[in-house]
Amino acid sequence: MSITAKLIELLRANVRTVALTGAGVSAESGVPTFRGNDGLWSKFDPTELASMNAFMRNPKLVWEWYLYRRDVIGKAEPNMGHETLAKMEQHLSDFTLVTQNVDNLHRRAGSQNVIELHGNIQRNKCRQCGSPMDQVEIDPDNIPRCSCGGQIRPDVVWFGELLPEEALVTAIKMAEKSALFLSIGTSALVYPAADLPLIAKNNGAYLVEINPEPTGLTPYADEVFHGKSGEILPIIWQVAMEEASSGEASLKTNEA
């Protein structure tokens, strides 16, 4: 894999950097993605599960799906991709991590400021008044209720629901002002998150994509790494952090 001098230069210049992550960043931690063939939605259609209609129609099935995912995530460990993003946050003075993921693995890897566009699967809330209900034990056969009478639901953003206002506004603002935007492990299909890389690009950012597969975003990217984020991110960061030995840092890593 080869890394351009431009990307290394931007990372070394400590420019305003935004990273947007999707389910692909957690794939190497054993958390299934959404659209992969072993994906979470290979058996169900997303509207079957990740929507208020689904919850109203079959709250037991929806809670069983979320409890299953909590169990998978509980057994998962952050991977080198999550860890590298946590290091970037420590080293770069203006770095923003925006995630579509609800698995909490960025925080577990040490990232402090994580903008969670789609909520967090570890949290619960009342579907009526929105009060946080994290300590409540969930029995899908007897879904607990809030004191206001509302059923408890996972604190994630379902299809057809608005994203948390402050998270989205901040993410858009940082994308607009970014000089380097990394789109990592996302199929760039879910809106409005999928708007962010193009907002950055249209405002002059250098757009980098890391994904084993091409996506709708690939044609717009300035630099594309076809591979796994858990392998690629550590290499990019290592090269960027190497002191330039003979003038120029060795930008050519071993040819993969």
Q: Catalytic residue numbers? A: 118
List 16, 106, 118, 125, residue binding ligand BV8 (CB under 6 A): 118
Task: List the beta strands (DSSP E) in the chain.
Answer: 17-21, 95-99, 114-116, 119-126, 152-156, 180-184, 206-210, 223-225
Least distance (Å) between residue 150 CB and Zn ion:
4
If one asks whether residue 78 binds ligand BV8 (CB under 6 A), the answer comes out as no
Q: Which one of ligand BV8, Zn ion, none interacts with residue 126, CB within 5 to 8 A by kind?
A: Zn ion
The binding site for Zn ion (CB under 5 A) comprises 126, 128-129, 131, 146, 148, 150
> What is the pairing mode between strands 152-156 and 206-210?
unpaired
Partners of 152 in the β-ladder: 126
List 186, 196, 198, 206, residue binding ligand BV8 (CB under 6 A): 186
Phi-psi region of 236 (alpha: psi -120 to 50; beta: other; left: phi over 0): alpha
DSSP 185-205: S--S-STTGGGHHHHHHHTTP
2 vs 131, which CB is nearer to Zn ion?
131
**What is the token pair recorded at 161?**
């629901």
Restricted to residues 42-61, the positions that interact with ligand BV8 (CB under 6 A) are: 50
Per DSSP, 34 falls in state: S
Q: How far apart, in Å, are the Cα atoms of 23 and each of 17, 85, 86, 135, 246? A: 20, 15, 17, 26, 39
If one asks whether residue 28 binds ligand BV8 (CB under 6 A), the answer comes out as yes
If one asks whether residue 182 binds ligand BV8 (CB under 6 A), the answer comes out as no
Q: Which one of ligand BV8, Zn ion, none interacts with residue 140, CB within 5 to 8 A by kind?
A: none
Q: Which residue is nearest to ligand BV8 (CB)?
A: 24
Candidates 177, 188, 23; CA nearest to 99 is 23
Binding residues for ligand BV8, rule CB under 6 A, total: 37
Site string for ligand BV8, 188-227 (x = CB under 6 A): -xxxx-----------------xxxx-x------------
| Residues engaged in binding ligand BV8 (CB under 6 A) | 22-24, 27-28, 33-36, 39, 50, 100-102, 118, 156-162, 185-187, 189-192, 210-213, 215, 228-230
